[in-house]
Amino acid sequence: MKKLFKLSFLVLGFVAQAQVMPVGFIKPLAPTISSTTSGTITSSSAILGGVLGSTGGATTSFGVIYSTSSTFTSPTPTTATINSNASAGTYTTTITGLSATTTYYVKAFATNTVGTRYGPTINFTTPVAPIAVGDSYGGGKVFYIFQPSDVGYYVANETHGLIAATVDQSTGIRWYNQNKGNQTTGATGTAIGTGKSNTDKILYVQEGSSSWYAAGVARTYNGGGYNDWYLPSRDELNLLYTQKVMVGGFSNAYYWTSTETSIGDAHFTIFFNGTNYPCCEGSQKYYNNSVRAIRKF
């Protein structure tokens, strides 16, 4: 009985000692960042990110901060968290709302319970913003950007289009040179981009003072110091009508196009309703209609 009592006492003593032994925990470390990265950069956006080497064994948030200040002081930098429970790997995000032709400084960050660590600082400069409809440019207002369907005028990865003068070149002038009468000029182009060649043909045939007829006053306009203005074709003027409020300065009048339909007629567009007419009253070349010149860029 004494032996059994001693054995029980030893077992109970061992268990008691085991229960009070300290339990060990793994202490988390600070996260590590391998690099800060940047990708596609436009005038208003950039792909930014970095590489998280290790989370340090704790829940880690990963992101980037960026600023126009190399010291990230003033103005206050912007923080963009990419992943709030990140694991080791590469992370990127698209940042928008940037300003054109501006240098930005950026660095990746990772935060866990130990603290925040930063990657190396890099910088990039946003390019000039592409020309867009509504911009004041080239002596007037951009009202159209050439599209792939505009064969012969569209250039891939380049921005080209049409600019309108912001004032009328005439509020009442004939289509033809009144001293030469009705003549066929061959200015029959209707498509976007054909107004210039139409105007060249009209000037070649009509001759005389450019102040006597629509194509002449369009060509002699020198807004912005440019001398390549012309009378728009039918489709170009119809496009211009859709942007008349943005361009400004139009009246609710008849406007000439450079598109000839017969020896005695040419297209015109009514600017209070957008209707285009190829013939009949108002289209006869001796009518006094308004002129708004355009040019390409």
For 178-237, write each residue's pLDDT tens digit: 888 889 999 999 999 999 999 999 999 998 888 999 999 999 999 999 999 999 999 999
SS3 call for 193: coil
User: Which amino acid makes up residue 97?
Assistant: G
Q: Which of 39, 40, 41 shows the shortest CA–CA distance to 127?
A: 41
Q: Which of 244, 237, 245, 240 shows the shortest CA–CA distance to 266?
A: 237
Q: Judge contact between 115 and 106, C-beta under 8 A.
A: no
- The CATH superfamily of 32-125 is Immunoglobulins (2.60.40.10)
The half-sphere exposure of 104 on its side-chain side, counting CA atoms within 13 A, is 30
The more confidently predicted of residues 128 and 13 is 128
Q: Which two tokens stand for residue 203?
A: 């000037």
The Cα–Cα gap between 222 and 88 comes to 62
- pLDDT category of residue 36 using cuts at 50, 70 and 90: confident
Q: Which of 215, 216, 208 shows the shortest CA–CA distance to 181?
A: 208
Beta bridge partners of 78: 66
| pLDDT at 23 (0 to 100) | 44
Q: Which two tokens stand for residue 148?
A: 């792939």
The more confidently predicted of residues 134 and 8 is 134
Residues 79-98, buried b or exposed e (16+ Cβ, 10 A)? Answer: eeebeeebeeeebebebeeb
- Residue ranges, CATH 2.60.40.10, the chain: 32-125
Answering whether pTM is above 0.85, one says no
Cα angle 203-208-210, degrees, rounded to a multiple of 5: 65
